[in-house]
Amino acid sequence: MAEADAEGVEVIELNRGEAGKSLGFNIRGGVDMPHVEGDPGIFITKIRDGGAAALDGRLQEGDKVLEINGTCIESVNHQDAVRLFLESGDTVRLKVLPGAERAILERDGSIIRTGKGSGTSQVLWWLGGAAVTVVALYTLYRFRLRH
């Protein structure tokens, strides 16, 4: 079952199947470790093959989770969100904002995610290191030309 409201928020029910089976996704974020700069929300960062979310097909990477079984998680710390997912039972009702991560980044004109290990931040880190190397080589080259 999926419902959508005027703001694009969807309600998705996932069934774990066997008691205690994983929902099949990873999350990042929280007030203590934001995944997207300026937004303390909880975001789906990976859908794992074979899990309840992948089999259902509606939840996607980049979706922002607003509620778990009626409990608002828009400004909780990461561990509290994890705990709520772990204690959510066999049927989990999620209220999500599809594509929220991309929409926030595009709106802010930002491509930098604060989540540790995000693909974008790794690329930017690598490019920054490459730029430092180029500047160092150029400086060495100029120094040798003068001496």
For the entire predicted model, the pTM comes to 0.70
| Segment 88-96 mean pLDDT | 94
pLDDT recorded at residue 134 = 67
Give residues with Cβ within 8 angstroms of 66, minimum separation 6: 9, 41, 72, 73, 74, 95, 96, 97
Long-range Cβ pairs for the range 113-120 (8 Å, 24+): 113/35, 113/36, 113/37, 114/33, 114/34, 114/35, 114/36, 114/37, 115/28, 115/29, 115/33, 115/34, 115/35, 115/36, 115/43, 115/45, 118/35
How many other CB atoms are there within 10 angstroms of residue 49's CB atom? 7
Cα dihedral 93, 97, 98, 101, rounded to 10, equals: -130
The answer on pLDDT for 25 being more than 60 is yes
Phi, psi (deg, nearest 5) at residue 122: -65, -40
Between 92 and 108, name the one with better pLDDT: 92
User: Residue 66 corresponds to which tokens in the numbers above?
Assistant: 């607003």
Residues 41-65 have pLDDT tens digits of 999 999 999 889 999 999 999 999 9
What amino acid occupies position 1? M
The answer on pLDDT for 27 being more than 80 is yes
CA atoms within 13 Å, Cβ hemisphere of 115: 24
The answer on pLDDT for 38 being more than 90 is no
User: Residue 48 corresponds to which tokens in the numbers above?
Assistant: 């794992």
